[in-house]
Structure 1
Amino acid sequence: MCLILKHFFFHTYTGKYLSLSKPMKWLEAIYNKAPKDLKHIIVHGFRHTFASLLNPYIKPSDVQAILGHETVEMTLNIYTHVTNQSKKKVAQSINDLNI
């Protein structure tokens, strides 16, 4: 079971849920005013970013539960990506081996 209501993630202060088209319009407004070299991502891209940022701090199965995936493999293979922080953590772990 998903810990977050996947279909109703964006809401107002009063609790009214927004359709996904509203955040897409917010992004479009940002991109229209932003420098041309700002990388454009879609709203769903923030889901991947969220999963990647969570991954070093909580168990993959917990990330899976939050995202509502059936398998942890789906979460790890599709939604989590290597971050600069995780690269540094790996390098430090290797250095700590003193080989």
Structure 2
Amino acid sequence: MVFTREDGSPLRLAYPNDKLNEIIKSNNLHPINIHGMRLSHASLLFEAGASIKEVQERLGHTDIKMTMNIYTHVTRTVKEQTATRFEKFMEL
């Protein structure tokens, strides 16, 4: 992601996180950084049923291993859904 000023010149690397931290502090929100938002986005995509390939493309990874090794945190909801699917399978 590249953030720029109105004139197109690049922002300081820390600027987006600095602004995000201002918003978090002024609204008493749980701390998170830009990368944390990206991780959350990927986890929610998986929870919503997106395939690993769809998430890889959405995140712009050229190597699917990157997506699988870093961004495939299994949420509690996904764990519950997996257990429910297995339970239903065993009832057949």
Q: Structures share a fold, TM > 0.5?
A: yes
When normalised by structure 1's length, the TM-score is 0.66
**Paired residue for 1:78?**
70
The alignment-based identity, stated in percent, is 35
Following superposition, the deviation at residue 21 of structure 1 comes to: 4.5
Note the alpha carbon deviations across 1:18-50, whole angstroms, 9 max, x for none: 846553233211332316xx3x22111111111
* Structure 2 residue runs without a partner (length 5+): none
**RMSD over aligned Cα atoms:** 2.8
**Paired residue for 1:24?**
17
Partner amino acid, structure 1, of 2:44: L
Partner amino acid, structure 2, of 1:24: N
* SS at structure 2 position matched to 1:80: coil
* Structure 1 residue runs without a partner (length 5+): 1-6
Alpha-carbon distance in structure 2 between the residues aligned to 1:60 and 1:98? 28
Alpha-carbon distance in structure 2 between the residues aligned to 1:31 and 1:66? 26
Following superposition, the deviation at residue 64 of structure 1 comes to: 0.5
- Which is higher, the Rg of structure 1 or of structure 2? 2
Report how many aligned residue pairs link the two structures.
86
Higher relative contact order, structure no. (Cα contacts within 8 Å, ≥ 6 residues apart): 1
When normalised by structure 2's length, the TM-score is 0.70
Following TM superposition, the consecutive aligned residue runs of length 4 or more in structure 1 with deviations greater than 6 angstroms are none
